[in-house]
Amino acid sequence: MPKKLLAVTLTATALLSSATLAAAHETWLLPSSMRVATGQTVELHITSGMKFPANELPIDPTRVVRAEVRTSGYVERLSKPRATRRSFRYIWTPRQPGVATISVALKPRTLELEPKLIEEYLAEIRADSVVRAQWGSIPAPRRWRESYTKNATSFVRVGKSGQDANWQSPAGLDFEIVPESDPTALSAGDNLPIRVFLNGAPLSRFPVGARREGGSGDSFVTTDASGRASIPLPKRGRWLLFGTHLRRANEPGLEWRSDFVTMTFAVAPAGSR
């Protein structure tokens, strides 16, 4: 293929990937195991995709602005991520028992979304009437230029967790979903109470999606005035919680800002805990 045509093709592919990412893809953090012994090495994969829990789209490790593990009050910074074809990963070896809260934040990126993808995007993130009205009020020719961030958490039980309840406190991300019961002690049929925080404050009237590995569709709940909601967990398996906070921006070269948030955890068979 001629170099000029190759460059055009690669550019088009990158733009399509970016547009698709904003319109349809979540970015999550998923450990290779969510219940391990002290000293047992764990792979922590970060990827974007629609087919949770499969790794689908790689992420540039240089986008990471924060990657930490908190266990029993001790915070460990993750370093030396390794890129793979469909994700990047950290290798982590827990040194003490407890419930590990793992958190990753990515640098903002900016994209321009194609008009044909906008309605699909708004539907998928459950955009409210205010956002839709704001989009409709932009005079022609309208453009959709958006700066977005990604924030992800997950939880691993290391040995006997004992009285470690660090999971119930925010990890300190700008946007996060915080469980209000132990996310490593869930069984099919349970409900998981959560609270959503944006910049340290509870976020009300926010739609939170839930997706189970192998499931046929997503379910949504909406947070109350205190940022709380309850997630039904009817079946075993690994679960992904997700949401997107989108708002209008009046800045040079930018119409929108958004923050994406995800949380992963495992649910055991009914009666097994």
Domain ranges of the chain: 3-27+98-153+165-267
Q: Could you give the C-alpha distances from 109 to 1, 64, 160, 171, in angstroms and in order?
A: 30, 12, 40, 22
Beta strand 74-77 with 42-49 is unpaired
Question: What are the C-alpha distances in Å from 120 to residues 3, 211, 260?
Answer: 34, 18, 16
Dihedral (Cα; 86, 91, 96, 102), 10-degree rounding: -40
pLDDT for residue 273: 61
Beta strands in 182-236, from DSSP E residues, in sequence order: 190-198, 201-202, 207-212, 219-222, 228-233
- pLDDT at res. 11: 35
In one letter, which amino acid is 107? Answer: K
* Per-residue confidence in pLDDT tens, the chain, 273 aa: 343 333 333 333 343 444 444 434 899 999 999 999 999 999 999 999 988 999 888 888 899 999 999 998 899 999 989 888 888 999 999 999 999 999 999 999 999 999 899 999 999 999 999 999 999 999 888 999 999 999 999 999 999 877 789 999 999 999 999 999 999 999 999 999 999 999 999 999 999 999 999 887 899 999 999 999 999 999 999 999 999 999 999 899 999 999 999 999 999 999 776
Residues linked to residue 151 through DSSP beta bridges, in sequence order: 105, 261
pLDDT of residue 1: 37
DSSP percent split of the chain into helix, strand, coil, nearest 5: 15, 45, 35
Sequence length of the chain is 273
